[in-house]
Amino acid sequence: MDSIVALVQDPAAWVALVTLIVMEVVLGIDNLIFISILTNKLPPEHRVSARRVGIGLALVMRLALLGTVAWIVQLTTPIFEAFGHGFSWKDLILIAGGLFLVWKATKEIHHSVDPEDHDEDFIASSVTTTFTSAIGQILLLDLVFSIDSIITAVGMTPHLPIMVVAVLVAVTVMLLAATPLANFIEKNPTIVMLALGFLLMIGTTLIAEGMGFHVPKGYIYAAMAFSALVELLNMLSRRARRKTKTGSTAH
């Protein structure tokens, strides 16, 4: 109890909390984009519950991982060396998650570009996503992003209460933003391709980090923000042209 009071009274702890919350929210964007795209493939009546279950599992997983911080830290210890790089369990998890994201995004892009081509079973299966398979895929990515998130938190502060509060706030933001983001993506088909491009970039980044190449997150999110801004301008431009066309037709 005394330690918690000391944390509340420590200005440095508040700075660490705010910084960690911002970082956790930003790291959650990757997870949220994947959840939005995947759940939009479900029947409308199942989408909200799938998002809630998926994000709820992310919360449970992150809190559970916080309870094993000592074990999480050990995941960064190299277990073997190849190509001049010492690979740890964290690296292998990031590579596996990155490969899954690249595969999933490529599959969905293929289906979006050529929806009539069902020659390959794994492509055709993308149109038959079930609630169970969606939750399974969300759970897999939750694990990858949760481990990355917790290792980031451990690197920023040694105080477990600060980590717990930051995770709770970040997951709450994800929960509130999930349905509006998914609805926005569904109503704007061009956004789907942009979001899939984001997933490809995120997956490639995870693979690169697992291979020992550090990619500053700031560059990734700056590129995503710039791309989103350009697409927003395109949407506004298309809307303005439609209004002009409608007005000229009326006259």
The full set of domain ranges for the chain reads 2-215, 217-251
| Sign, CA torsion 216/90/135/129 | positive
Q: Which residue has the tokens 């989103």?
A: 228
The answer on pLDDT for 5 being more than 70 is no
CB atoms within 10 A of CB 206: 26
Q: At what angle do helices 160-187 and 131-156 cross, to 10 degrees?
A: 140
Q: How far is CA 5 from the centre of its chain?
A: 34
Identify which has the larger pLDDT, 200 or 26.
Answer: 200
Q: How many Cα atoms occupy the beta-carbon half-sphere of 25 within 13 Å? A: 15
Q: Looking at per-residue confidence, does 140 or 76 come out higher?
A: 140
Taking only the tens place, the pLDDT of each residue in 214-228 is: 877 778 778 888 888
- Report the SS3 class of residue 85: strand
127, pLDDT greater than 50: no
Would you state the pLDDT for residue 4? Answer: 62
Per-residue pLDDT at 84 exceeds 60: yes
Task: List, as one string, the DSSP characters of 227-239.
Answer: HHHHHHHHHHHHH
Average pLDDT score over residue span 10-38: 80
pLDDT digits (tens, 9 = 90+) for 65-74: 877 766 776 7
Q: Work out the average pLDDT over 140-149.
A: 80
Is a pLDDT exceeding 70 seen at residue 101?
Answer: yes
What's the token pair of residue 107? Answer: 């599959």
> In this predicted structure, what is the pLDDT of residue 7?
60
Number of H helices, E strands in the chain: 10, 2
Tokens at residue 121, please?
């079973």
Assign 6 a pLDDT band (cuts: 50, 70, 90). Answer: low
The fraction of the chain above a pLDDT of 90, given in percent, is: 0
pLDDT of residue 251: 56
Q: Which pLDDT does position 80 carry in this prediction? A: 84
Least confident segment among 89-93, 103-107, 154-158, 233-237: 154-158
Compute the average pLDDT of residues 122-151. Answer: 73
Q: What is the mean pLDDT of residues 224-242?
A: 85
